[in-house]
Structure 1
Amino acid sequence: MDIATLSLRTQADLIASGALSSEALVRHYLDMISKHNGEVNAIVQVARVEDLIAQAQAADEKVRSGAPLGRLHGVPMTVKDMCKVAGFPCTMGTEGLTGFVAEEDATIVARVKAQGAIILGITNVPELLMAFETDNLIYGRTNHPLDSQLSPGGSSGGEAAAIASGCSPAGLGSDSMGSVRVPASMVGIAGLKVTQGRLPQTGRVPMEGASLHVRSASYGPMGRYIDDVALLLEIIAGPDGIDPNTMPVPVQDYQRCDISTLDVAWYENNGWCEVQPEIGQALRRAVDTLAPFVGSVTNDAPACLNKVKSLALEMIAFGADGGQSWYQGAKLMGSKALSPLFEAFLESASSCQLTVTELRGRLREWDQYNFAMQAFSQRYPITLCPVSATTAQAHGHSVRQIDNYTFTMAYSLSGQPVATVCIGEDNNGLPIGVQVVGQLWCEHQVLAVASVLERAFSQSDATNK
């Protein structure tokens, strides 16, 4: 049995049947952490080995007793360092929170635990999550599993690297500007940005209130396979009675979804940057691969993409106040020293100073943008496009090339669900991901299309090898 290739659902089924013990599974991932985490620096807080083994043994005893089991019974996983896990430090990569230890679980963590999951540890982030790579003054940088000179992206870079290096089977990340999608693409795993309002934000650090970010920021599941993120979504979705922005919209089963009549749009050029040639080639192969399974495929793009950079950077990233809210927030948390990545972000944000009147105008433009994007999604329920303009880059590259990430920003603004799945490699063997974008609340369609691509390209990889 090759544990490294097992999906979450398969792991849980094997444990429930007695064919695999939770203890063996936990020991496998502890062994992988021992072998690989020192190089990638993905998991920055690992649970005590004695506690993990005790939890696994208790899970195995429950199987033997014949008691009812949860959907993740005895399965280990990890959580991004911005989501409260009781008993673990939660720092968001900023110095002032070094001594903060969560006393209770975030809602989504409580939900996976209730289904029997065992939390292996906490994964690395850039300071206050504000970078498309992963480095901070507390834990240092996270490296790409294939090359330590490259970054796995950010801000869920630690989570992505943990999964890709085999140190964790899956985990809980978050996405505001592309923080799940970019790292998932860079390392070749699956990720899901959910419809805005799908998941309760209760238990974010340092507080639940996210100001303008409430319109774009959300937790997001990450895993080796599309089925992993689908399973996690089913478990963590839905209101908790605390977060007022979470909607009671049921999650539909992607495995029962008929995609044969869906019209699909695709585009390679968003007007902001040119993509690496291999990415364009992989995208076109994905379009050709998908065509027999759907109603139609059309090369078309939303006309409002020309608004992406100004709205996303000014409203979501910079906060419309020259970065002052971010700077003051770090200071209020007690951070006296700031990381080079965060300093670079603040320098970029300093140019964005909007008056109240200008801010109201941008909010109106944002609403107009969303109307246009929803109209486009009514015409094309699915859109395929790049995740970023390049594959994994050297550390420090993201600060200088922010336009490369406008592909993900487009759907952070609109709140639409987006799955990321690997569709190939570049000439250096680095993974290439694609965004599969859907209509609001239609994660089942997004996941169904992504699973078709995943099956096709994983079979192609196996054949080539």
Structure 2
Amino acid sequence: MPAALADWQTANPIHGRTVHPLDASRTPGGSSGGGAAALAAGLVALEMGSDLMGSLRVPAHFCGVWAHKPSTGILPLRGQAFPGTPDTLGPPPDLPTVIGPIARTADDLLLALDVLAGPEMPMAQAWQLQLPPPRQPDPARWQVLVLDANPLAPADAEVRGAVAEAARRLQAQGARIMSAADLPPGALPDLAVLHRAYQQWVMTVLGAFEPGAECDLNAHEWIRLVADRGRLRAQCFALLERVDAIVMPAFGCAAFAHQDDPDWGRRTLRIDGEDTPYEAQSAWASLASLASLPATAVPVMAGAGGLPLGVQVIGPWLHDRGTIDVARRVAGAGPRA
């Protein structure tokens, strides 16, 4: 994994660079790139990773495997924080990071979820977790929102094609496919506002706890930031009362060539023939992460160059089994036996 889990590629000063299992000139993604590459190469049967800005979803999309970013709070986070940080049970409080499984099938994701989800001590003395079954098992009654554009992050034609193929497969099973234009005004949160709020939230919390980082937000600004996040989260929850799932890119391109420049501001990604800012791609992770929602990454097809292409399926909070079920149908695996 990259140092501090902070990249969409996987290189560190101890173990060096991890390469894509199909093309050594490209990255397997990050931050959980090593796990996704090992899984795709058949070295292991199951892996674990973390996700704050797509660190599970991006490697799964790049390597052609499955991953699940759980609803925030349902998997214990002990051992995930930097040594010496004040929260010994996980990352700094209020940071919506999660750990989750990477696998080769939907059934393996569900098995891992069943084993790992739930509180640990001391909370386990009083709390239990019982995730609900899929909201509606019949795809003919699903309403699925498809988003293939973001005002801050471009997606190339191949990625948009994978989203369209996922929608076509669901529609063939009877699902009603909706676009943003089919929603009432205001039903879809402003994705640019949402992403900028999420970026500020993450950088503020990390800046208060990470070694060497600084945080200069005053208390009143923090309270306003909390209120903004709550308002946007409520909008996302309301949207997922209207629709059963959201299908969208996990990242705007397939696995890209290794980039060595440590300055993200100088990095670019070539998307549909144009150089675009590297960091802009974090916008695809924001909706599920800011609102604490489950998101399942599922492989869909291969691009023209043979590299995998996937999508993420986002669902209501705590409906983790539901996003895995929709992803299963995207993959053409049918209902669970």
Using the alignment, how far apart are the partners of 1:221 and 1:370 within structure 2? 24
- Residues 294 and 247 of structure 1, relative CA distance in 2, 3 Å threshold: farther
Using the alignment, how far apart are the partners of 2:200 and 2:26 within structure 1? 28
Task: Determine helix, strand or coil for the equivalent of 2:297.
Answer: strand
| 1:107 paired residue number | none
Contact 1:199 1:236 in 2 (8 A): yes
The answer as to 2:77 corresponding to 1:201 is yes
1:320 Cα deviation (Å)?
5.7
| 1:362 paired residue number | 225
Task: Determine helix, strand or coil for the equivalent of 2:12.
Answer: coil
Q: Quick one: which of 120, 127, 139 aligns to 2:3? A: 127
1:209 Cα deviation (Å)?
4.1
| 1:280 paired residue number | 160
Q: Quick one: which of 423, 426, 432 aligns to 2:303? A: 426
Using the alignment, how far apart are the partners of 1:228 and 1:255 within structure 2? 20
| 1:99 paired residue number | none
- Residues 258 and 372 of structure 1, relative CA distance in 2, 3 Å threshold: same
Contact 1:177 1:216 in 2 (8 A): no
Contact 1:226 1:447 in 2 (8 A): yes
Using the alignment, how far apart are the partners of 2:47 and 2:116 within structure 1? 12
The C-alpha deviation readout for 1:257-305, integer Å capped at 9, x for no partner, is: 3333221111111211221101111211211110133441101282231
Amino acid at match of 2:78: T
| Structure 1 segment 60-459 matched on structure 2, within 5 A | 125-205=1-81, 206=83, 207-212=88-93, 214-242=94-122, 248-252=128-132, 257-300=137-180, 302-316=188-202, 318-319=203-204, 323=207, 325-328=209-212, 353-396=216-259, 399=264, 400=267, 401-455=278-332
Contact 2:135 2:319 in 1 (8 A): no
Task: Determine helix, strand or coil for the equivalent of 1:303.
Answer: coil
Contact 2:132 2:318 in 1 (8 A): no
Contact 1:160 1:222 in 2 (8 A): yes
Task: Determine helix, strand or coil for the equivalent of 1:211.
Answer: coil
- Residues 196 and 326 of structure 1, relative CA distance in 2, 3 Å threshold: same
- Residues 215 and 293 of structure 1, relative CA distance in 2, 3 Å threshold: farther
Task: Give percent identity, aligned residues only.
Answer: 28
Using the alignment, how far apart are the partners of 2:44 and 2:135 within structure 1? 25
> Rg: which structure is higher?
1
- Residues 192 and 276 of structure 1, relative CA distance in 2, 3 Å threshold: same
Q: Structure 1: state its 5+ residue gaps.
A: 1-124, 329-345, 458-465
Amino acid at match of 2:234: F
Task: Determine helix, strand or coil for the equivalent of 1:264.
Answer: strand
Q: Count the aligned residue pairs.
A: 308
Q: Which contiguous aligned blocks of 4+ residues in structure 1 show a shift greater than 4 angstroms?
A: 252-256
Contact 1:249 1:441 in 2 (8 A): no
Amino acid at match of 1:134: T
Using the alignment, how far apart are the partners of 1:219 and 1:366 within structure 2? 21
Contact 1:163 1:189 in 2 (8 A): yes
Contact 1:198 1:247 in 2 (8 A): no
1:415 Cα deviation (Å)?
0.6
1:215 Cα deviation (Å)?
4.1
1:362 Cα deviation (Å)?
1.4
Contact 2:204 2:217 in 1 (8 A): no
Using the alignment, how far apart are the partners of 2:95 and 2:171 within structure 1? 33
Contact 1:199 1:239 in 2 (8 A): yes
Contact 2:96 2:289 in 1 (8 A): yes
Using the alignment, how far apart are the partners of 2:238 and 2:17 within structure 1? 41
Using the alignment, how far apart are the partners of 2:333 and 2:107 within structure 1? 15
The C-alpha deviation readout for 1:291-334, integer Å capped at 9, x for no partner, is: 13344110128223122332222211x2367x464233xxxxxx
Q: Looking at both structures, which has the greater relative contact order when contacts are Cα pairs under 8 Å and sequence separation is at least 6?
A: 2
Q: Structure 2: state its 5+ residue gaps.
A: 268-277
Using the alignment, how far apart are the partners of 1:365 and 1:294 within structure 2? 37
- Residues 309 and 253 of structure 1, relative CA distance in 2, 3 Å threshold: closer
Using the alignment, how far apart are the partners of 2:307 and 2:139 within structure 1? 30
The C-alpha deviation readout for 1:427-463, integer Å capped at 9, x for no partner, is: 2111111011111111121111111111269xxxxxx
* TM-score normalized by the length of structure 1: 0.62
